[in-house]
Amino acid sequence: MHLGNLNLSTYLRYTRLWILFAVLPALVAGALGYLNTRAQPKTYNASASLYVQQPTQSGIGVSGVQDLYASSQLAQTYSQLAVQPTVEAAADVLLAKKYPGYRIEDHGLQSAPASIQQQTPLIILSLSDTVPKRAADAVNAASRAFIGRIDQFNQLRFATDDQALSAQIGKQKAAINKILGQIAVYRGPTSGLDGLKTALSAYQSTYQSLVSSQQQLRIERDISSSTINVYSRATPPTSPTGPHPTRTALYWALLVLLAGSAAVYGYEYLSDLPATPEEVSEIAGAPVLAAIPAARGRRARRRLIEEGQAQPLDDEGYRLIRTNIQFASIDRPPHTLLVTSALPGEGKTTTASNLALAFADGGRSVILVDGDLRRPSMHHLFDTRSANGLTQLILSVQTNGHRPGHEVYRNLAVIPAGPLPPNPADILGSTRMVELVRNLRGHSEVVIIDAPPVLAASDAAILSTLVDGVILVVDLHKTKRREIRRAREAIEAVNARFMGVVINRFQVRDRSYYYEYSESYGAKRTPGGPPDSRDASPSLPSSLR
């Protein structure tokens, strides 16, 4: 958004846009967010702490620094396992009797280490619910389910070896019992009895070794298995943790405010269209001579001004241009004027033609020249022959003492473009063109030249050095700020006199606004009528209406 060097009205416009598309939607979003959040039920958060202990590496039952660090690392892993679906399903089974149909999965069970930065072996299990007691019971059930899951996991690590030792111990015990039975009923020689006792001793020795191995395995299991215990049980919370209507309202209001501001900024940046005549004046660095209202209905089909008792607003706009030009410089009134625009299609030809008619209505002798040797259109507007026009006059230069051009109206002669040359810029910048403009000034009080768009070709910049003043036509709905700025720079680059800007197709909301705007630029208003042109104007012929 180009906010530099803008007047108060432009700032007020941006403020109105910002309020309309950013502030008001933000207030609405904040109010809706507040009401919606306030209607939601209160939630309560319950939490329990679990203590994780890794087996001691010293084997003496005293935890060292390394053991504490290992327990802290294990707590981070366990914090992820605590919220697995198997743990939540086991907790649902524990709660099924007290809370039928309750599912922890629907209440967002969360688990995290107490403090990752401090490396503590604590896990925090938390859950939110609308009932405080149920929230605490659900967290405690999840704690028991997780501890049972870990114990089951530790048991499974040694289950295979323990089962194998138990099987071998069973076999040895059965063999011992069998030999004991044989010894009890033996009636043979002593040597045979000694053999049975030797075999019994071997089985008993193997049995004791297996039992010792199983005991050692279980001790190792108990020592090497990590333990997890409840450090602090969850208790029913006494105060709700949410919702937060004010916080939610501020969040949505800020979000919509930022989005609306970005939308306004993006629109202004992409469109880059000026909004008011005051802004155009600021950008162009020149006064606005008049704002021509956009024609509607039957008047939209005609392009030249008419004469009547009650002048339309656009007719008075052209007369206002004439008045402002006449009083622009009392000591050095302009006799030659150049009318151009930044880009094609902004109404420069219509403006130049109607300005010439306004000067002619005021009693001045006027020559209107179609200086657009690329896309001329004035011969269509005035129904003149283009075969005998500007290009022929440039070649001949001499006017033979006669007023050149086609006399289309009293005091107004029109010089069409003539045959189009292959090199318009070279012809318009020639010394013959300079002499022709000088000769035209001798045959008329006012010479108005309709030039090509200043940004489309160099013709307008060349012609602007031959005249007393340059008028730039701007369409608020088409001409962008950067194009106005570039047009001004092109005119200033050749040291031409930039007299002012004419705003074409201006959208007038009511007549009073236009009159106030006209008065601010010097036009007088007659009681009950439009601004006074001060001059008696004869009627135009029907061919020009």
The pLDDT tens digits of the residues spanning 129-176 come to: 999 999 999 999 999 999 988 888 777 767 777 788 888 888 888 888
Q: Tokens 């319950």 belong to which residue? A: 46
Coil, strand or helix at 286: coil
Contact 45, 241 (CB under 8 A): yes
Work out the angle between the directed axes of helices 313-326 and 511-520 (0-180°, nearest 10). 10
At residue 434 the predicted structure's pLDDT band, cuts being 50, 70 and 90, is very high
Residues 20 and 51 in one domain: no
Residues in a beta bridge with 129: 44
Residues 402 and 313 in one domain: yes
Whether residue 275 is contained in a domain is answered as no
At residue 539 the predicted structure's pLDDT band, cuts being 50, 70 and 90, is very low
Residues 142 and 251 in one domain: no
- Specify the CATH number for the domain of residue 223: 3.30.70.1130
Contact 157, 221 (CB under 8 A): yes
Nearest to 491 by CA among 446, 459, 449: 459
The total of structural domains in the chain comes to 3
Q: Is the pLDDT of residue 279 over 80?
A: yes
Q: Is the pLDDT of residue 116 over 60?
A: no
Sheet order of strands, 110-113 included: 110-113, 122-129, 44-53, 227-232
What's the confidence (pLDDT) of residue 3? 45
- Against a cut of 0.75, is the pTM above it? no
Residues 225 and 308 in one domain: no
Whether residue 368 is contained in a domain is answered as yes
Residues 206 and 260 in one domain: no
149: its two tokens? 């899951």
At residue 265 the predicted structure's pLDDT band, cuts being 50, 70 and 90, is confident
Whether residue 197 is contained in a domain is answered as yes
Parent domain of 262: 8-40+243-270
Whether residue 105 is contained in a domain is answered as yes
Residues 369 and 451 in one domain: yes
Whether residue 545 is contained in a domain is answered as no
